[in-house]
Amino acid sequence: MNQNPYSPPGQPVYPGYPAPPANPGYPPAQPQGAVPYPAAPVFYPQYPYPPQPVAPMVYAPAFSLAPRRPYRLTSATKTVNRMSLMMILQLVAAVVIELPLMLLTTAFGVDLFGDDLGLLLFSAAMVPLSTALPLFIYLRASRRGAGAYLRFEKVGVLSGVLWVLAGVGLCLAGNFPAWGVQEFFGQFGYEPVSQSLTQQQTWPLFALELLSTAVLVPVMEEFAFRGVIFSALQKHGTGFAVVVSALIFAFAHLDLSTVLFAFVAGLTMGFLYARTRNLWVTICVHALNNAMAVAGSYGDLLFGEHAELAAELMTVIPLGVGILALIELLIFKFREIFRRTPAEAGEPAPLTGGEGFGCVARAPLFWVCLSMVAVYTVSLFF
C-alpha cells in the first residue's frame, strides 16, 4: 500500500480514490527524527464520522402556541379586580357592622328608626367604618405608602377656586341624565330611594345631616375613591384611572339614577385630582355638591313657600358659575388642563382605549359590582 503523506503513519490510501490535494497551509515535512506536527486525519466516504446521537423532536402542545398577554394588561386587570373588591367590601362592611349594632341597640330598648336624631347619629358613625375602613386596611398593606396615594400639592388660591367652581358646575350637569332616568322608568313603577334619612325638618336635624353628609361623607369618600382607588389605577394611565374609578364610585351608589349622577361626578373629580394633585380640591367640590342636596331636602325649613324656586336656583346658578369658571380655566390654564401626565419610574406604558376596555371586561369582580347595581335597581320597581 502507498502511504498518504498527509495522514498519520499507517493510514493507507485506498485504491479508487484520488489522493487529497496538497494543502499549502499545512506545515512542511519535518526532517527525519524530528517530532512531526499533528496531522489532520483524512476520512473518506467509506469511513464517515461516527454517528452522533440525535435528540428526538419535541413539539409544544397547541395551547402553548398562543401568544401570552403582555404583563401590563394582566396587571391592569388585577388592579381593576382589587379595586372592585374594595367597593364590594364597603357594602359588605355596611351590612355586617350596621345590622348587628342595630339589633344590639334594639335589644337595649333604643329604637333608631323611631328617633330621627338617633338614626342620623348612627349613620354618621357608620360612614368611616363602612366607607373608609376597607380602603384604610388596603392602604396600610400597600408597599407604596400613603404619600403615593394622598396628594396635597400647591394649587394657588385663585386657581383652586376656579377648579372648585368648575367642578361643582360639571357635577350638577349629572343631574340631567339622572332626572331623565327617573322620568322614564317612573312610568313603570320605578321609585328611587330618598336621599334624606329623616321625615321631620328641624334645625338640629338639618345641622347634623349637613355635618354628616357635607363634611364627613366627602372626606371619607374622597379618601377612598380618589385618594386610594384612583391612585392605584393611575399607574396604568390617567384616562384609564379617571374612567374606571368613576365607574366604581358610581356602582357604590347602587340606584341607577344616582349611579348616573355619581358617574358624571366621578369623572369630574377624578379629572380634577389628576390635574391639581390636591385632594382638598375634590373634597371641596364633593362637599358643596352634597351641601346643596341637603339644603334642597330641607327646602321647607330653609326657604318656606319659596322652596321650589330656591331648589331651581341652587341648580341653575352654580351651573352657570361653573361654566364661566371652566371657560376661564380653558383660556388661562389650557396647557395645564390638557397636558400629558408623565408615568412614574417603573410604571408600565399607559393603556390605550381598547386595551383599557379589554382589561375591565376581563375583571370578574367588576361584573359582580355591575350585577349588584342591576339587582338593586330592579328591586325599586316593586
Q: Give 343's pLDDT tier (boundaries 50, 70, 90).
A: low
Q: Is residue 40 part of a domain?
A: no
Higher pLDDT, 199 or 96: 96
**C-alpha dihedral, 293 to 299 to 301 to 306, nearest 10°:** 150
Cell of 204: 338640629
Q: Is residue 248 part of a domain?
A: yes
Q: Is residue 304 part of a domain?
A: yes
Residues of the chain with pLDDT > 90: what percent? 43
Q: In the prediction, which pLDDT does 246 show?
A: 97
Q: Give 279's pLDDT tier (boundaries 50, 70, 90).
A: very high
Distances (CA, A) of 36 to 8, 39, 59, 215, 340: 10, 8, 50, 100, 76
Taking 80 as the threshold, does the pLDDT of residue 214 lie above it? Answer: yes
DSSP H helical segments within 277-332, as ranges? Answer: 279-297, 299-303, 307-332
Least confident of 28-32, 90-94, 101-105, 318-322: 28-32
Domain count, the chain: 1
Q: Is residue 287 part of a domain?
A: yes
Least confident of 119-133, 201-215, 255-269, 274-288: 119-133
Average pLDDT, the chain: 82
Taking 60 as the threshold, does the pLDDT of residue 200 lie above it? Answer: yes
Are 80 and 363 contacting, i.e. CB atoms less than 8 angstroms apart?
yes
Residue in the block written with cell 360612614: 127
Taking 60 as the threshold, does the pLDDT of residue 41 lie above it? Answer: no
Q: How many helices (H) and strands (E) does the chain have?
A: 16, 0
Taking 70 as the threshold, does the pLDDT of residue 38 lie above it? Answer: no
* 258 CB-contact burial (10 Å; exposed 0-12 / middle 13-18 / buried 19+): buried
Q: Is residue 8 part of a domain?
A: no
Q: Is residue 373 part of a domain?
A: yes
Least confident of 18-27, 192-201, 238-247, 323-332: 18-27
The domain in which residue 259 lies consists of: 73-143+151-379
Q: Is residue 320 part of a domain?
A: yes
Instruction: Give per-residue pLDDT as tens, 149-185.
Output: 899 999 889 999 999 999 999 999 999 999 999 999 9
| Beta-carbon-side half-sphere exposure of residue 171 (alpha carbons within 13 Å) | 31
Least confident of 147-161, 181-195, 258-272: 181-195
Q: Is residue 218 part of a domain?
A: yes
DSSP 29-67: PPPTTSPPPPPPP---TTSPPPPPP-PPP----GGGGSP
Taking 80 as the threshold, does the pLDDT of residue 191 lie above it? Answer: yes
Instruction: Give per-residue pLDDT as tens, 42-98.
Output: 544 554 555 556 666 666 565 545 556 677 899 999 999 999 999 999 999 888 888
Q: In the prediction, which pLDDT does 287 show?
A: 96
Q: Give 324's pLDDT tier (boundaries 50, 70, 90).
A: very high
Average pLDDT over every residue of 256-279? 94
Average pLDDT over every residue of 204-230? 93
Least confident of 48-62, 73-87, 224-238, 282-296: 48-62
Q: Give 219's pLDDT tier (boundaries 50, 70, 90).
A: very high
Taking 80 as the threshold, does the pLDDT of residue 318 lie above it? Answer: yes
Q: In the prediction, which pLDDT does 130 show?
A: 87
Q: In the prediction, which pLDDT does 302 show?
A: 87
Average pLDDT over every residue of 124-132? 87
Average pLDDT over every residue of 370-382? 91
Distances (CA, A) of 296 to 163, 259, 286: 24, 19, 16
Name the nearest CA neighbour of 124 among 245, 4, 242, 211: 211
Taking 80 as the threshold, does the pLDDT of residue 329 lie above it? Answer: yes
Q: Give 17's pLDDT tier (boundaries 50, 70, 90).
A: low
Are 283 and 168 contacting, i.e. CB atoms less than 8 angstroms apart?
no
Q: In the prediction, which pLDDT does 163 show?
A: 95
